[in-house]
Structure 1
Amino acid sequence: MIKGVRQGALVAGSALLIAIVAQAAPVKNRIQDQDWFGYGGNQDDTRYSPLDQIRQDNVAQLGLVSHFDFDVGGITNTAPIEHDGIVYFAASQAIVHAVNPLTGKLLWKYDPEVGAVAGPEMRGAWGSRGMAYANGRVFVGTSDGRLIALDAKTGKLAWSAQTTDKGDGRFISGAPWVFKDKVIIGHGGGDVAPIRGYVTAYDQKTGKQVWRFYTVPGDPAKGFENEAMAMAAKTWTGEWWKFGGGGNDWNAFSYDAKYNRIYIGTGNGTPWNRKIRSPGGGDNLFLCSIVAVDADTGKYVWHYQVNPGESWDYNATHDMVLTDLVVEGKKRSVLLQAPKNGFFYVIDRETGKLISAVSYVYQNWAKGIDQATGRPIENPEARYPDGKPFAMYPGSHGAHGTATMAFNPKTGLVYLPIMDMGRVYVDPPSLENFTFRDGERSNNGQGKAPAGIPMRPSVGALLAWNPVTQTEAWRVPTPDLVDGGGTATTAGNLVLQGHQAGNFDILAADTGKRLWSFDMQAPGSNQPITYTIHGRQYISILAAGRVIGPRPVEQQWDYHSLKSRLLTFALGGKDRLPPTNFAIPPFADDPAMKLDPARVALGKASFADRCAACHGPAAVSGGAAPELRRSQIPLSAETFRAVLHDGLLSSRGMPRFGEVSDEEIEALREYIRDRARAAIDHK
């Protein structure tokens, strides 16, 4: 929580106070009503709005119009969309809400009841990242692999398509993408299960499959789906198909109307370590690539691979901005991407050829990108050869995570949330004996990092980047390190960004100066949106993001008292949030419970594999899920087993771990108790 920030207050010392223009009633027909119908805001994925009713010179008058509180359990890591005066969002396990932003009133809600049907796939998805609107329908994906179409006015189910095979380890966390008469969706799961990535296009009206594009080749003995897969197979070695291969397109797409193409951003290898999945080396197409396919048929057109032979979880599943830039005096149609690996890429959309690539953060895995070939000039140590560990930057969280970037054509700048965070990569004790373990998030082919390797302090920032000159324009440090707040930008010279610390900030797009800040009383991780209703410009943001990992006591969010809410702003807004009532419970303990050091050690390993992603490393929660050191549930063996093994709270977003043995359950209980007692002693 950001302390001392008054709701709607202009930042102290701003010279803009002298330039405030009184805002009268909304001016009719001053601007045509504009919607925000998809995850990228528009088809070009720029998250730029041409609206300028809210500007740098009057943003001090921005106030809250309405707020809508909701409680559906689980983690809400989603971005809203808007069409025709209705805001839609998919909370927790894709529970769709339709809200009137002018009043904060719920119009309808649709629950796909993911908890009743999903299995292990709930563990990696964390719900839906976003939605899309087209032709009177809203579209959303679910953790259990369904793509759902709902009537936008009523919430009535139009159709549901199962895009994955039940129990195959795939899940949907990304937003669908709409174009022409189709809607496309990908999936995740490559960090958990041996799966092969693909993207599927469906007919918007009927839900019938139109085409499917696989991103890595399958078993050669079964034949290849097309020439692209036959070509890609030549870049793999060994029996890669037994490991799935990966390449999951779990997040980013763009539609290029100029060339009638879909751009697919693909993910890491499964497992990460190439020495396991492709022991003879090879580029392993189309891992960590941008792939262009024909929008009507899904036929391969071109690809650009950012990390040939990837071995680090260096996804290219990040925003792909489509725009025109003047490069060396010539107007070029380009694609911009800042993937995990720390380089900012400008790519020719017609040919897929590299125009330029420059590192935008500290990185030590490559000397640069060869302009002639487009390939990285790798540091040999980055392959952690001969079992030698390597402290690599960026690490697996990436220099740019899922927090969205935005591009403003008026300033010519990209607004990019970045992280300076590394990871030690090292082979496991045995490359030959690698096997996937059910339900665990350590299926990456990595060994345990040795102790004592020095690392740089981890920091986060919002970076303004010039893609023409490939230089930094400005940067602002942020409190977010992992999956910080996504951005949007407007013609009013504004950059909008929420933060997991709870503040919603608006900055000057040209200078980065903070112009306005609002205490949301809850974390925000996905991008704000802006739109008009009857000629008046509004801004909406969801304050319901997930916060992973330890935080200072004064910034801790308690899962049970934390409010999840949709906030809507406009010039002259007069709404107020109710007073906060955060009541973090004390650490829980049962003095009669005796701890066995061996079981505590087993519980520590199990917690890291199964629990830490939501409940926080070392059982220190950031608010994404209950703080187990303070919870009464682990004190009861029966209740703890009912939640963990039987899925008692699956409807609230807590996955079921049916494969966990009673011995492991008891080990987890003792580890949580050990962590609680350590905290009590520390106090």
Structure 2
Amino acid sequence: MQVLKLAAAAALALGLAACDSAPEGTAPPTEGVTDALIAAAAPEEWLSHGRDYGEQRFSPLTQINADNVGELGLAWSYDFDTARGQEATPLVHDGVLYTTSAWSKVYAFNAVSGELLWSYDPEVPRETLAVACCDAVNRGVALYGDKVYVATLNGYLVALNQSDGSVAWSTEYVPDHESYTSTGAPRVADGKVFIGSGGAEYRARGFIAAFDWDTGEELWRWHTVPGNPANGFENDAMETAAATWGGEWWTLGGGGTVWDSITYDPQTGLVLFGTGNAEPWNPAANGRESGEVEGDDNLYTSSIVALHADTGEYAWHFQQTPEDRWDYDSNAQITIADVEIDGQPRHVVMHAPKNGYFYLLDAASGEFISGTPWVDINWSLGIDPVTGRPQINPEARYEQTGQLWVGLPGAGGAHSWHPQSYSPATGLMYLPANLAGFPFFADTEFEETERGFQTGIDSAATAMPPIPEVREATLAATTGALVAWNPVTGEEAWRVDYPGPWNGGTLATAGNLVFQGTAGEEFRAYNATSGEQLWSFATQSGVIAAPMTYAIDGEQYVAIMVGWGGVWDVAPGILTAKSGTPRNISRLLVFKLGADGELPEAPPLVERALDPPPFTGTPEQAAAGARLYGRFCSTCHGDAAVAGALNPDLRHSMTINNFNAMKAIVIDGAFAHNGMVSFASDIDEEGLENIRQYVIMRANEDKALEDGG
């Protein structure tokens, strides 16, 4: 402890010296998109990711309403050249619609006609896909002054000129390109562009940073996880956090990445953000077992943190999932609103993270107001009504019990990044819910590797077995819903059930409407008060993004990005098709009343019968291959070798017939240009043959099920 104190004192001295020379930054813009313009949140425009600084995603527009939404039709559409997941929320300013597609490409359209004005391709190396946990997605741009900002998948913050898409500046802001990627939309305020990164399943140390809006110069950076104590701490918050970690957490970075939610509150001058899971998921994998350190919470992972936006200094935090070992990120959208509680007005934070609780916190202090389960939960036995600290179910500490644990919610979260919306008119929050469990089993032989997830989970032991009864029960228990939640009373107002999870984000409007796209290839409108479905449009592809709305020359439009993908497609195997056979047709769809546009006919769904070669390996080979497949292959090609819609299903691949063909891809890197990089550092020829035999075995097992065996 004395060493820690000395190191902290040295770091504090360095920090004070750094503050003396910290860049002041360019004054905020006075023309174009300004702080005042975003704060005013004009109904006709959509200037920031959540429309207003409070990220409520509520539009005051009423031309499209519950009485006439049935007259909504397609005004125009645009097909993108990236058949990956589409997660962006478009922005609209001065008659121009700005959005991003996969691979961090940026587009500007005439918001009335759909004419493409310009586009920008950052030319992200496709090899980046190998270190991006959850598809090559991007959630959108930010507008400020005369610029458009995008964070690219490979970790560059780029400012484009709104007029023509030319590059104004570009800043490489991640520490490396092996453990850090970026999928979130930047936020802007106070002359600063705020952005974090992904990578908590690799070796990332989470952070949020602020950059000068005009020059790209870094103004401050705040880490969410302490570094190696021997190197000192950047600030007092990091010293405090270090006392809550066990083992040598810094060797794998620690996680806590700020990969999505960032909210600026002009009333308090604070920037609030959510943080990701501790890394590895399994605490025993790097010696930070619960109980080794008193208060073993792993700060500031799975938390909401508030910093002073001007300086980046710590203000407060609230940890929602202490000692997180279930991937319960707190990166879901953070909404700020003024509500009445016990007869008194309160300025509050409203948040539904992955862990299944819905939280109300005081926005200025972080004081806990309430926390209520809004879905089924089994990892926690309850929550302290004063502090908000959850009581962890001892059985959920799977690395201690040595048993398989099926967590509710699952690692996909009761609510993930898919944006929620809050209507001041109804007082309800509209939440996309994932109702699915996830199996956790500690990998007792975990060792750090150069490639692949570093979670400490034995993915072979938890893979979906070829047992019809198990599959049927798992599929039946995997559903989704749109939940209208009263954040003050902590009660559900209404719910719409869906066949499967991973449905899109929501939009609420003063026309008493809630819009949402679905995994089942529909765009729907509901009555915001009752939940009655009023309208739908066949999108021809699963929808995971959130819609937005705008008005030009007195005519209201509703826009949404369409294209199936993201983590649910690449990870859960047979569960990915719960809402129907998934496909990706990446489009921007824009609607208005009375329009009668039509989409081109969708390509037919092609069902492929399994026709694998016979299994010629040994049970020992298959078991070894299952372990390697689970560690290095499943995150792209699917659990139990059953892929989703985007990446190749290896059970159908001709390469499993020929070892040399498989070697050329997996070891020699023949397809690196498509994102399938070489795994030679971790998979040798013997290991590859074991993987090949495992995939062949799995293909034959599933063929037997198809044939009724």
TM-score normalized with structure 1 length: 0.88
SS at match of 2:125: helix
- The CA deviation string for residues 373-421 of structure 1, in whole angstroms up to 9 with x for no partner, is 2211333333233434443322222211222211111000000111222
Residue in structure 1 matched with residue 426 of structure 2 by the alignment? 411
Residue in structure 2 matched with residue 370 of structure 1 by the alignment? 384
Residue in structure 2 matched with residue 164 of structure 1 by the alignment? 174
Q: 1:130 to 1:668 in 2, by over 3 A?
A: farther
Conserved 8 A contact 1:33-1:533: no
- Cα distance, 1:423 vs structure 2: 3.0
SS at match of 2:193: strand
- 1:235 paired residue among 229, 236, 244: 244
TM-score normalized with structure 2 length: 0.84
Conserved 8 A contact 1:127-1:142: no
Q: 1:119 to 1:356 in 2, by over 3 A?
A: closer
Residue in structure 2 matched with residue 294 of structure 1 by the alignment? 308
Taking the TM superposition and a 5 Å limit, the aligned residue runs for 1:256-655 are: 256-275=265-284, 276-279=286-289, 280-281=292-293, 282-384=296-398, 385-429=400-444, 434-441=446-453, 443-445=455-457, 448-449=461-462, 457-481=477-501, 483-546=502-565, 548=569, 549-550=573-574, 555-558=580-583, 562-584=584-606, 586-587=608-609, 589=611, 598-632=620-654, 640-641=662-663, 643-645=665-667, 649=671, 652=674, 654=676
- Cα distance, 1:218 vs structure 2: 1.1
The amino acid of 2:408's aligned partner reads Y
| C-alpha RMSD over aligned residues | 2.8
SS at match of 1:153: coil
Conserved 8 A contact 1:542-1:567: yes
Q: 1:418 to 1:117 in 2, by over 3 A?
A: closer
The CA distance in 2 between the partners of 1:327 and 1:80, in whole Å, is 34
Residue in structure 2 matched with residue 216 of structure 1 by the alignment? 225
- Cα distance, 1:449 vs structure 2: 4.9
The amino acid of 2:447's aligned partner reads T
The CA distance in 1 between the partners of 2:675 and 2:112, in whole Å, is 30
Unaligned segments of structure 1, at least 5 residues: 1-30
Q: 1:154 to 1:643 in 2, by over 3 A?
A: farther
Q: 1:536 to 1:168 in 2, by over 3 A?
A: same
The CA distance in 1 between the partners of 2:389 and 2:42, in whole Å, is 45
Q: 1:553 to 1:123 in 2, by over 3 A?
A: closer
The CA distance in 1 between the partners of 2:606 and 2:166, in whole Å, is 39
The CA distance in 1 between the partners of 2:668 and 2:112, in whole Å, is 42
Residue in structure 2 matched with residue 179 of structure 1 by the alignment? 189
- Cα distance, 1:237 vs structure 2: 3.0
The CA distance in 1 between the partners of 2:590 and 2:47, in whole Å, is 16
SS at match of 2:645: coil
- Cα distance, 1:253 vs structure 2: 0.8
Q: 1:166 to 1:427 in 2, by over 3 A?
A: closer
- Cα distance, 1:365 vs structure 2: 2.4
Conserved 8 A contact 1:436-1:443: no
The CA distance in 2 between the partners of 1:57 and 1:579, in whole Å, is 30
Q: Which moved more, 1:412-421 or 1:323-332?
A: 412-421
- Cα distance, 1:130 vs structure 2: 2.5
The amino acid of 1:489's aligned partner reads A
- 2:234 paired residue among 225, 231, 235: 225
- Cα distance, 1:67 vs structure 2: 1.3
Residue in structure 2 matched with residue 22 of structure 1 by the alignment? none
- The CA deviation string for residues 424-481 of structure 1, in whole angstroms up to 9 with x for no partner, is 4443335xxx432232225235684599999782221111000110110011101332
- Cα distance, 1:372 vs structure 2: 1.9
SS at match of 2:316: strand
Residue in structure 2 matched with residue 41 of structure 1 by the alignment? 51
SS at match of 1:270: coil
Conserved 8 A contact 1:77-1:526: yes
Conserved 8 A contact 1:118-1:144: yes
Residue in structure 2 matched with residue 17 of structure 1 by the alignment? none
The CA distance in 1 between the partners of 2:353 and 2:208, in whole Å, is 19
- Cα distance, 1:612 vs structure 2: 2.9
Structure ranking higher in helix proportion: 2
- The CA deviation string for residues 131-163 of structure 1, in whole angstroms up to 9 with x for no partner, is 222222222222221111112221111111111
Identity of aligned residues (%): 38
Conserved 8 A contact 1:646-1:658: yes
The CA distance in 1 between the partners of 2:644 and 2:127, in whole Å, is 28
Q: 1:311 to 1:563 in 2, by over 3 A?
A: closer
Unaligned segments of structure 2, at least 5 residues: 1-40
The amino acid of 1:444's aligned partner reads G
Question: How many pairs are equivalent?
Answer: 645
SS at match of 1:411: coil
The CA distance in 2 between the partners of 1:152 and 1:113, in whole Å, is 19
SS at match of 1:563: coil
Residue in structure 2 matched with residue 104 of structure 1 by the alignment? 114
The CA distance in 1 between the partners of 2:633 and 2:61, in whole Å, is 43
- Cα distance, 1:37 vs structure 2: 2.7
Q: 1:388 to 1:70 in 2, by over 3 A?
A: closer
- Cα distance, 1:267 vs structure 2: 1.0
The CA distance in 2 between the partners of 1:631 and 1:189, in whole Å, is 29
Conserved 8 A contact 2:615-2:700: no
Moved >6 Å (runs of 4+): 450-456
1:200 is aligned to 2:220: no
